[in-house]
Structure 1
């Protein structure tokens, strides 16, 4: 995989993940099993498909760790040579513009009196300080706030996963420079992978603990990081990959549909992450994906994957506005399917506009500025890229 060149299989996996998240959040607002989908596919099946969107986030974590690690090695040769300042600069260029825009939109709608965009304690319905919620978003402890108080702000709740990622990546270059040996770095990541299910085991019954806490989610990112190093060392045999991929995909689907993530998270999160890591390892040798090029449905899913960051951050803004105009209690039966179609079109359109005219141009400009500042350091920093 070359810096600045998109891996179509990665985008396909991202696309599947973001669609699962979108469906999950829509189903929470507008119950889908009592629509025609439930009649055609059985209510229990629709419920099973829609309830485990958090596994989509687990797959995102794996992809993120995979891309960050592989791109860091391509930029600096080895992980111990990672340039700390450049690493953080690249993360800021990609993450912060969209984060600031999201906060601007949500705070503006809250100030305008749109109730669902305000911050409230879900247990007592008492207001929560807007400044506290903004601080948690900007300093990456939204997951801690959610674990302590619940989902205090509807559209900003998605930032729990960004908090997990960015705290992990805060340590990424520091760990690499401190340990100075890839084997020791991998040793720390393996310890994080082992700690994940143990942490979740001891936080059963506490959604803030087994879903949103740092150490409940770090293992997915660490698995992605280790997968990138495996891909660098040896490509999976093509015949083995061809035989094993359908088996792994079937295992992922079975795990996803079997029970809710509340019942399977102890081992399920790690298993889903390992399965996703295998798919990345198997597809790394053929990033352009001829199957994706030939299949219109897969190309559509891949498109969603290319917009996945913007879609993830802003889809609850669209859904929050929809809930304000069409309260769930007033929508019945197959009317929900029309709203589902509208939601998918509106959310994806908004994400595409933000990506095309805001986040990607700013990303390129910030990276170009970083290149100019760091050009004497010898670090190879691309002006475009996916991570």
Structure 2
């Protein structure tokens, strides 16, 4: 999306979400409890921030549902008039180039014998690399993880892409079948109700209460519903500074107070609902909203703008660090140096991929995939 059309509020939310994910994954690789960061803020607070990074993914799901629905409404006016093939073309142009690049990097390094990029036996069942590639390309990585565990370190992030891609595949079909926004909202309400029930019945099974389709679809459904309802209902209280600050405070309290392993049943629902509330005023954001951003807000918005590339590729620099600096050999504030290196390397890698690879291919593919349909529409 052109810079002047981007919504800074949405980028800000995504920026916060991706930083939570990055910090979570780094802390898994290098526990920060013995660093000066823990000495200053307390090990409990550091652990509280790090342990719930999966809530960042919940926020991504809500934003994804919101953006897909609001963009469809902007392009086609009504969801029942969505052009399914154009929709798929837009999604292919954005998603597939980075996915193929990630698979290429991981496969090449695995074939060259770099151990951390190779598959490892998680549950006593060897899994060939082609099987992981197939799961990545067929949006079933979450199912593979549920069956055999975290079989490939840098490709583990694709569990959430599997959830989103199934949503992308079904969204236009659902719109064309149900057509009316009232029926779509009723369907999304059903999915929202199913989410906590599904998580409740899969307690003790992390792959079930965190990574399964129906453990995650309720967040996406909330984003979809928020995109539709916020166009029709704009209660003044939803957009005030006080209300939005209260929502952030409650989300922060939930995030820090309970581990996601204990709070996921309703915690995911609450975090998703809070994200949807923060998105409610997004369609009415103005250019003045962007000018209110300070440098911190602008930096977070940059992270949000590049969040897809950051999410997909950040485990590559972390894998490189883990290979060169094994956890047992890194002590104290040496970990903070690695944290800074990890963040810098991830930002540079994501920025380079976005600018020189993903964005040019996105534009080229959109023109190639959509131009014939535009021409046909004009002739018709």
Q: TM-score, length-normalised on structure 1?
A: 0.94
Q: Which moved more, 1:79-88 or 1:367-376?
A: 367-376
- Residue correspondences, number: 378
Q: Determine the structure 2 residue equivalent to 1:286.
A: 285
TM-superposed CA distance for 1:376, in Å, is 4.0
Are the aligned partners of 2:237 and 2:243 in contact in 1 as well (CA < 8 Å)?
no
Structure 1 runs, 4 residues or longer, greater than 3 Å off? 1-4, 287-294, 376-379
Contact 2:7/2:282 (<8 A) preserved: no
Q: How many Å separate the matches in 2 of 1:68 and 1:290?
A: 22
The Cα RMSD (Å) is 1.8
Residues 47 and 288 of structure 1: CA distance in aligned 2, closer, same or farther (over 3 Å):
farther
Counterpart in 1 of 2:182?
183
Q: Does 1:10 align with 2:10?
A: yes
1:88 to 1:294, Cα distance in 2 relative to 1, 3 A: closer
Deviation at 1:166, TM superposition (A): 0.7
Question: 2:145 & 2:98 partners in 1: Cα distance?
Answer: 21
TM-score in terms of structure 2 length: 0.96
d(CA) in 1 for partners of 2:271 and 2:22?
19
The offset of 1:140, in angstroms, is 0.1
SS in 2 for 1:153: coil
Shift of 1:301: 1.0
Q: Secondary structure at the match of 1:122?
A: coil
Q: Take 1:246 and 1:228, find their aligned partners in 2: how far apart are those partners? A: 21
Measure the CA separation in 1 of the matches of 2:3 and 2:224.
Answer: 17
Q: Residues 135-146 of structure 1: matches in 2 within 5 Å?
A: 135-146=134-145
| Matched-pair contact (CA < 8 Å) for 1:18–1:304 | yes
User: 1:224 maps to what in 2?
Assistant: 223
Distance of aligned partners of 1:270 and 1:19 in 2 relative to their CA distance in 1, 3 Å threshold:
same
TM-superposed CA distance for 1:127, in Å, is 3.6
1:3 is displaced (CA, Å) by: 11
- Superposed CA offset, 1:163-205 (max 9, x none): 0011012111111111222211111111100000000000000
1:199–1:216: 8 Å Cα contact kept in structure 2? yes
Within 5 Å, give how 1:1-387 maps onto structure 2. 5-124=5-124, 127-237=126-236, 241-288=240-287, 290=289, 293-376=292-375, 378=377
* Structure 2 contact 238–280 (Cα < 8 Å) conserved: no
* Displacement of 1:251: 0.3
Structure 1 CA distance for aligned equivalents of residues 126 and 330 of structure 2: 28
Distance in 1, matches of 2:377 and 2:217, equals: 31
Q: CA deviation at 1:290?
A: 3.5
Q: Distance in 2 between matches of 1:3 and 1:348?
A: 19
